[in-house]
Structure 1
Amino acid sequence: MEIGALVFDILGTLVDEPAGIRAAIRRAQPDADADELVRQWLGHVATEQQRIVEGERPYAPSDVLDREAAQTEALAVAGRRMPPWSDTVEGLNRLAEHYPLIGLSNASRTTLLRMNAHAGLRWHQALSAEEAQSYKPDRAVYELAVELTKTRPERLLMVAAHAWDLRGAQSVGLRTAYVARPIGDPPTEADRFDFYADDLTDLAAQLAKLRM
């Protein structure tokens, strides 16, 4: 298996999205039920993204969907200060020694820039689904990475904590690596991914063996 570049999901895979939103809500509304508001927020965003993919709603960037969920601009912006998982920064640095790293997120360009800076994420290139005017798992979003690298899809490895995301990547021929996270979408018995890793350190070790 030849891997020319790694393509990473960001929200949930590299940063703890619910924790970032929860912290923002607690700062803005100390007496609110933060866990319930997080559930409603993420549920609204997921529903509206799916409606856009299915053509039931015109495209709107993630900033708009967040404002709809948060109901205030200040809270929506604050909710994108996502803490990275403990292995994220070191894991990206290790992997960057051997592969080009590409971020591929449903977050808008503006949100992606802010989120990357806050979490200290290392990229060679970060792509937003906004460029495809759609959302993952729409094929058009994964094709952004193929177009960028000018390489065969099977030489790209999609890394995500969401099985639905990896299935979307498989639909355009990308290799897949599932990384377990507490808030991810775990694989089913029917899923067949190329790698299964406990974290980015584990993934780096598995890829190192592949290069031997």
Structure 2
Amino acid sequence: MPTPAIDVVVFDVLGTLVDEPAGIRAAVQCAAPHCDEGSVKKLLARWQAHVENEQQRILRGDRPFEPSEVLDGEAAQLVADSVGITDPGVVATLAAAGQRLPPWPDSQTGLARLAERFPLIGLSNASRTALLGLNAHAGLRWHQALSAESAETYKPAAAVYGLALQVAARPPERLLMVAAHAWDLRGAQALGMRTAYIARPVGEPPAPGDQFDLHAQDLDDLADQLDKT
């Protein structure tokens, strides 16, 4: 049986299209200019660990759902407390770091190229508010941008991928999920979606047992491969 054609391409955002650690690191450096590089690295790790841990608690049902800007606000306060920042304005600016993440060099042009052939959906764990600011700052252009907030959970919960399936109104095997994180692709794969891994330095590479449909070095490589389908 031939492989079904792809009708819609769905993109993860954080890490896949924007360099999330670089954006948060820059915000921490701006908020705490007295910290050396090693200290900033530790603060970034603390931020990331808090957000990941709290998302996992929400996924397990150990904590009621809170959107990403709440978790980022908590992480920002932890960082501020660690280095003695007491200015509320500085803390608020730091907490909004997730809306000021730099795109990868190929993200804007790659999306534009793919949009000539496919409807594009952004599917992110970022909240609706954060996603709006992030898309504007990074220059990301979508036909539709969806936030996990609408499902009141986080990827890789099935309900988040269900948002894209509902909007696309197509069978899951006709949607291609693109991500730099193998765990994200596994979540989409569990619902029958096609999968494409994009290599990014901040992502999670495939494990030996993973079998994704496509592997690409960047969005241009992905577009080249899809042009052959």
Q: What does residue 113 of structure 2 align with?
A: 94
User: Normalising by the residue count of structure 1, what TM-score does the alignment of the two structures yield?
Assistant: 0.97
Specify which of 29, 54, 75 is matched with residue 94 of structure 2.
75
* 1:45/1:66 contact within 8 Å kept: yes
Specify which of 144, 147, 165 is matched with residue 184 of structure 2.
165
Q: Which has the larger radius of gyration?
A: 2
1:197: how far off?
Answer: 0.2
Specify which of 54, 58, 66 is matched with residue 60 of structure 2.
54
Work out the percentage of aligned pairs sharing the same amino acid.
64
Structure 2: state its 5+ residue gaps: 78-90
**Cα distance in 2 between the residues matched to 1:2 and 1:196:** 17
Q: What does residue 112 of structure 1 align with?
A: 131
User: Normalising by the residue count of structure 2, what TM-score does the alignment of the two structures yield?
Assistant: 0.90
Structure 1: state its 5+ residue gaps: none
Q: What does residue 45 of structure 1 align with?
A: 51
Task: Report the secondary structure of 1:84's partner residue.
Answer: coil
1:73: how far off?
Answer: 2.2
**Cα distance in 2 between the residues matched to 1:141 and 1:182:** 25
**Cα distance in 2 between the residues matched to 1:179 and 1:29:** 33
Q: Aligned pairs, how many?
A: 210
Specify which of 193, 206, 210 is matched with residue 191 of structure 1.
210
156-165 vs 78-87, which moves further: 78-87
1:79: how far off?
Answer: 4.1
1:117: how far off?
Answer: 0.1
Task: Report the secondary structure of 2:99's partner residue.
Answer: coil
1:20: how far off?
Answer: 0.4
Runs of 4+ in 1 over 2 A off after TM superposition: none
